[in-house]
Chain A
């Protein structure tokens, strides 16, 4: 019943007001949180106790800066405990162009992240709602999309289509398409988008979550195409990189340019969601769209 539907309306959907649109701080280190007892926040420069930061989902307790987190941490923080099953984990990159230093770079990323490639895909539940998910790890070659990332995301979308499950993608990628695989990387944009068409035709839900940073060919393909698009506060989101724009137009970029708050204001995303509310928000949207026949929550 419609009445019942509204009963489930949660209180936890919050739209944060745009943050102070100061100049966006580029994190000094490309990867996340150094080990050690104390961490200096990239934005407010205050010293934070490492344990306190972890407990706070790697959000600065002083200024709310959202640190970048890896794909595994993300899955742990979002999905119901023990529900995640990875799929297509055995896919690895070749060097189809024989591109200089590509193998050494992927090896370095594998070592740094403990992943085989830049995205983890799988199935699981959030607040009991089943889903197929893909989580891109910025620590793996800047979260760039080569053949493996494109193929795994495409397969995840196809799996969701086949099983009638929703698809949730958590994006982060600084450069977008991975130049080391040349044109093959560019074509992953088409491949993933085409799979989304089939998911849409089958009535499947796609939620895209943008985290810092989501740029280039990742934003200009699947990441900008969600039925619902969410973003963490203060993330860099856009197509052309700010440095390239600055070099081209030779002007200072406006404060807050290409932040989550900027793309919300310009109508490109639905909501900004604080990391501490992300799980509940996703849970709400999944439940809201649950399909009776697919093991989700029955409505009415």
Chain B
């Protein structure tokens, strides 16, 4: 299924061909003539192009997919993976941040707490949700809900998708740095299983603030980075348009992060990206969530926290001479 109305540059040859096939089909139906051989031939060609494009994605192309406006958001996944989702609002300190969503739900019949950044699915919703970039109160809401989960012994599922922390005056006034650090610190100490999934963009501190857990998973086209490729290119070469190069240099794909020992598993996406078949994506993700969560449920609290500490303690690369 082609996504309507939006196509990425590198997908253009495919989309063009698919459009031709549709036209021929329509024409054949209208004129009531048999063009099945022609259609079959073009379809074969389309499949071949599809294979070529999607099995050799560059890092930059993956980032385009991760940022695709039709990419499933937190609430899309929540609807497809969990049952009885009930949203809970507010940080009890300042306001309810619509860029961060959290609530209660059942995962395969088990009560869990779900949190994550929520991007808008159109311009209007994006404005309301600040393009999924939380303010400090968003992180504080997430933390409140996670602490509540720990109190009642519920596992936490954190779905991360954020371009980065919001650069704004109010965010600084209300202590964005402190909110991020506090999130990291408290998540590390919560005595309940935490499974984190980078579903789209893993943008630096804004991602890590809800990204500490016992299992860290990534969707195939998601990326997770210390800085945006654009920001990196600006600093390095004073030229944001060299972001594709910076993206390669930053080694920010799931495959890279597996090699660095940061990520435990990369979850396959439907060909062309999660947005091509959200339902199939949700099914795969649900299976991965359950499979990763189950072994954690048997661990006692102390063992869980020790393993979590050791997991992050090992991260880094240096020479000791």
| Contact surface of A with B, Cβ cutoff 8 Å | 90-94, 96-97, 99-100, 147-148, 150-151, 154, 175-179, 181-191, 193-194, 196-198, 216-217, 219-225, 238-241, 244-245, 247-249, 251, 253-254, 257-258, 266-268
Q: Which residue of A lies closest to B250 (CB)?
A: A182
Known: A147-B316, A238-B172. A220 touches B205 (CB 8 A): yes
Does B37 belong to the interface (CB within 8 Å)? no
Q: Which residues of B contact A249 (CB under 8 A)?
A: 167-169
CB of A190 within 8 A of CB of B315, answer yes
Does B313 belong to the interface (CB within 8 Å)? yes
| Contact surface of B with A, Cβ cutoff 8 Å | 165-169, 171-178, 180-182, 184-185, 188-189, 204-205, 208-209, 211-212, 224-227, 231-232, 235-236, 249-252, 256-257, 260, 262, 308-309, 312-313, 315-321
Q: Which residues of A contact B185 (CB under 8 A)?
A: 193-194, 196-197, 225
Contact partner, A151, options B168, B226, B316, Cβ 8 Å: B316
Q: Which residues of A contact B204 (CB under 8 A)?
A: 177, 186, 217
CB of A239 within 8 A of CB of B172, answer yes
9 residue pairs from A and B, CB less than 8 Å apart: A182-B226, A182-B252, A184-B262, A190-B211, A193-B184, A194-B312, A221-B180, A241-B167, A249-B167
CB of A183 within 8 A of CB of B316, answer no
CB of B188 within 8 A of CB of A183, answer no
Known: A177-B204, A190-B315. A91 touches B175 (CB 8 A): no
CB of B169 within 8 A of CB of A184, answer no
Q: Is the interface of B mostly helix, strand, loop or mixed?
A: helix
Closest 3 CB pairs of A and B: A147-B316, A240-B167, A239-B177
CB of B313 within 8 A of CB of A154, answer yes
Q: Which residue of B lies closest to A239 (CB)?
A: B177
A245–B316 Cα distance when bound, in Å, is 30
CB of A190 within 8 A of CB of B188, answer yes
A267–B179 Cα distance when bound, in Å, is 13
CB of A220 within 8 A of CB of B167, answer no
CB of A183 within 8 A of CB of B226, answer yes
Known: A189-B184, A245-B172, A267-B175. A184 touches B316 (CB 8 A): yes
CB of A186 within 8 A of CB of B208, answer yes
CB of B316 within 8 A of CB of A191, answer yes
Q: Which residue of A lies closest to B212 (CB)?
A: A190
CB of A187 within 8 A of CB of B315, answer yes
CB of A240 within 8 A of CB of B165, answer yes
B62 to chain A, nearest CB (A): 15
A186–B223 Cα distance when bound, in Å, is 13
B132 to chain A, nearest CB (A): 15
A248–B165 Cα distance when bound, in Å, is 12
A99–B225 Cα distance when bound, in Å, is 14
Known: A90-B321, A189-B208, A217-B204. A197 touches B189 (CB 8 A): yes
